[in-house]
Amino acid sequence: MNDGPAGRYRDRLLGPDGEPVWERPWERNLIVDELRKLLAALVKGDPQGVPVRYWAVGSGDAAWDGGNLPSEAARRTRTQLFTETARKQIPAGQVTFVGGAFTNQLEITMQFTIADIPGGPATWSLREFGVFAGGTAASGSGLLLNHRIHPRIDMQQGFTLERTLRLTF
């Protein structure tokens, strides 16, 4: 039985020459309440029904490294990341259907380097991400559709974090 939208993601870290350093398996991703509001707006034809526009990353909270995570129930109602450090606009055509046109599954793949994350080494330890519909390049704007807290990834010069997100409706 499907209880509604679901998300999965996979991270790959690529070295300076583009070679894979590591790849994590597909993992569950939390769909937040804002996605359900966006879907309702799209079906109604309301102007709130805006497309996916930004992928944000954040440093989160260092306490998460020790397993002290906020509950899923608390995260489900979030409207922004805990500590957003950067966001990237998702290019036109980057959101694709999986398995052909008009399926119930979408995929987005984005790459992040330290050039995408201003602030220097203090902001290069990533612990969370989220995808936003609408909004602007300003931190926290738009409708947060999904949120994921993950093991810390320390970005370094020359390395690329490649993230793939699949949303199933």
- Distance CA(111)–CA(18), nearest Å, equals 12
Whole-angstrom CA distances from 65 to 37, 56, 104, 153, 159 are 32, 20, 34, 11, 22
H/E segment holding residue 44: helix 33-44
Q: Tell whether 40 is covered by a domain.
A: yes
- Give domain status of residue 84, yes or no: yes
- Return mean pLDDT, the chain: 92
Residue 1 has pLDDT above 70, yes or no: no
The residue range of the domain holding 73 is: 6-168
**Tokens representing 132?**
């936003």
Asked if residue 52 is part of any domain, the answer here is yes
The tens digit of pLDDT for each residue in 5-38 reads 899 999 999 999 999 999 999 999 999 988 888 8
The model's confidence at residue 41, banded by pLDDT at 50, 70 and 90, is confident
- In DSSP terms, 81 is beta-bridged to none
Q: How far apart are CA 8 and CA 30, in angstroms?
A: 8
Whether residue 156 is contained in a domain is answered as yes
pTM: 0.89
In-domain check, residue 29: yes
What's residue 138's pLDDT?
95
Residue 104 within any structural domain of the chain: yes
| Tally of domains in the chain | 1
pLDDT digits (tens, 9 = 90+) for 127-157: 999 999 999 999 999 999 999 999 999 999 9
Structural domain contains residue 43: yes
Amino acid letter for position 117: I
Measured between its terminal Cα atoms, the distance across the chain in Å is 12
Q: For residues 63 and 75, give the distance between their C-alpha atoms in angstroms, rounded to a whole number.
A: 16
Asked if the structure places residue 1 within a domain, the reply is: no
b/e code 109-140 from CB counts within 10 Å (16+ = b): bbebebebbeeeeebbbbbbbbbbbbbeeebe
